A and B are shown apart, each in its own frame.
Chain A
Amino acid sequence: MKKNIIILLFILAGTLCFILLLIGKSDPERLVIDVPRRYNGIYASPEDTIRFKVTLNAIETDGNIIYGYANKEKILCRYDPESRKMDTLLHTRSFLSGILSGVDRDPATNTFYFFSANTNRIYLFHPQDSSRDSLDEGHTHLAGGEKCLTGTYFLIRSTDSATSLTSLKKADYIRHTDTTIYTFTHYHDGGISADGFFRKDLSSKRLFYIPYYNAEIIQYDEVNNKISKIITIDKTMPYNSTIPTEQGYTVSSKARMINITATTDSAHLFLLSNTSSKGKKEPSGTVIDVYSTVTGSYEYSLQFPYFEGYPVTLLKKSGDKLFVAFGNNILSYKIEYR
């Protein structure tokens, strides 16, 4: 008995010393991954700096023209690099209601779509004649979306109130029909841990759903009606990002955002990652990982230092240019693969 107590006290003391040793060596601010990033093979040369009066929350491009949406000021603005002129196209305060969950632009019709989560509506704005409209699907809960490349379809994220499961649906907002493309079976939390954002690429006709808290990016090939996945290099599993409450679920204070923003071109997905490689100085908001959308594999990384004290907040690829927003500044870079 006495011997047991002594040995267990020794184990207790040994364990405490071991944990204290680990705490002493720890680095709590870093979300470290065990994958060395490749900084060779892709190069970004700075070309221009555009200073907006407001901090943007979404950017879209039409060639060299940049459209930006500022959520705080509730304005949609446009910058033309030819004339170096900036103008405000729309004040959305009177036009939009509800919480904005995404902004998208259809280049074919030059129409802007504003997705409102709690009103279940998609608001439309046509800059040509400044006309406005809205679409309502009725029964489908809308938690963000993106205009599909064909027809009157939208790829939306929707949560079923009965099962609390979240799905990606292809919804026709004119004919009021929808088809489920993918269901996030891991989550029964009302879609909180499946929270993310949409992106699309016109040339390859692919749409992407990128989750904030885990590594599973859903790629939808609209032409072949096929789903595939891109797994980011951090391989974060879709668990433990929510906690149950009396009203349902909420995001755990311990959950760490992995994917911040992204953009695509015909063969690549540029993803701003919130992780850093072991032993490297890669502060949050500085590393962009480039994945092949054809093979789904990781290819290269780019690192951008802070600009005027701001990390990267938004990305938009247009042709061989990558527009990178740092606060209210947008820097354009020419991207080359060597």
Chain B
Amino acid sequence: MKRNTIVTILRYLLVILFIYAATAKALNYKVFVADIAKSPLLGNLNNTILAPLVLGLEFLTAGLLQFKATVKPGFYLSSFLMLTFTLYLGTLYFFYTNIPCSCGGILGRMSYPIHISFNLLFTILSFAGTFLHMKPEGDRRIVKAV
């Protein structure tokens, strides 16, 4: 399989994930905000800023991954978000007794070990996308000419 094909598959897997996760949260926004407030890690933060920030970052990542010119920052942002979600959930699961999950849709119904494994898989895919992605042909030619 061509390297570009793998990168495209990774991009669209991540786009689907981020759009699904963000839409599920947006559709049940009040519950999402309430769950953030209940989190022992996030309870002290201002959830009226945090909730739209998380949603905005998820939609932004999906947007960046869709355009060739912004795929690279999209992969970086995706790596950051997936790593943060994985570490957040892992920290809650292993060290805390009270772990409300703020994810909507099917993600919120997963058991915690499955959810953490799922997040870890997508973190690895984001990292892989970062390494596998190459600059577009046109850009490389310009670099060579300079």
Contact = CB atoms under 8 A, between A and B. Distances in A.
Interface string A90-133: 00000000000000000000000000000000000000000000
B98 A244 contact: no
Interface in B72-126: 76, 79-80, 83-84, 87-88, 91, 93, 95-101, 108-109, 111-112
Interface residues of A, number: 38
B47 interface: yes
B30 A4 contact: no
Contact of B131 (A4, A240, A256): A4
Contacts of B112: 240, 252, 254
Given A8-B127, A28-B98, A33 B111 contact: no
Nearest to A18: B84
Interface string A1-27: 100100110011011101100110111
Instruction: Output the residue of B30, B39, B41 with the most chain A CB within 10 A.
Output: B41
A278 to B, nearest CB: 6
A34 B130 contact: no
Interface residues of B, number: 39
Instruction: Output the residue of A35, A234, A239, A240 with the most chain B CB within 10 A.
Output: A240
B40 interface: yes
A253 B93 CA distance: 10
Given A30-B40, A235-B31, A254-B97, A15 B83 contact: yes
Contacts of A7: 76, 130
A181 interface: no
Given A23-B41, A28-B96, A256-B98, A235 B84 contact: no
Given A34-B37, A254-B112, A25 B44 contact: yes
B40 A11 contact: no
B112 to A, nearest CB: 7
A253 B94 CA distance: 11
A243 interface: yes
Nearest to B109: A239
A70 interface: no
A256 B37 contact: no
B97 A22 contact: no
Given A11-B79, A15-B80, A234-B38, A27 B44 contact: yes
Contacts of A23: 41, 91, 95
Nearest to B101: A240
A237 B80 CA distance: 28
B42 interface: yes
A253 B83 contact: no
Interface string B16-39: 000000000000001101111111
Contact of A19 (B36, B43, B84): B84
A254 B93 contact: yes
Interface string A172-202: 0000000000000000000000000000000
B93 to A, nearest CB: 7
A93 to B, nearest CB: 35
A239 B130 CA distance: 34
9 contacts: A12-B83, A16-B87, A22-B45, A32-B40, A33-B38, A34-B37, A35-B34, A234-B34, A235-B34
Q: Which 10 A-B pairs have the closest CB atoms?
A: A34-B37, A32-B43, A22-B41, A15-B83, A28-B40, A19-B87, A11-B80, A235-B34, A256-B98, A26-B41
Given A23-B95, A26-B40, A30-B43, 6 more contacts: A8-B76, A22-B45, A234-B34, A252-B112, A254-B93, A254-B112
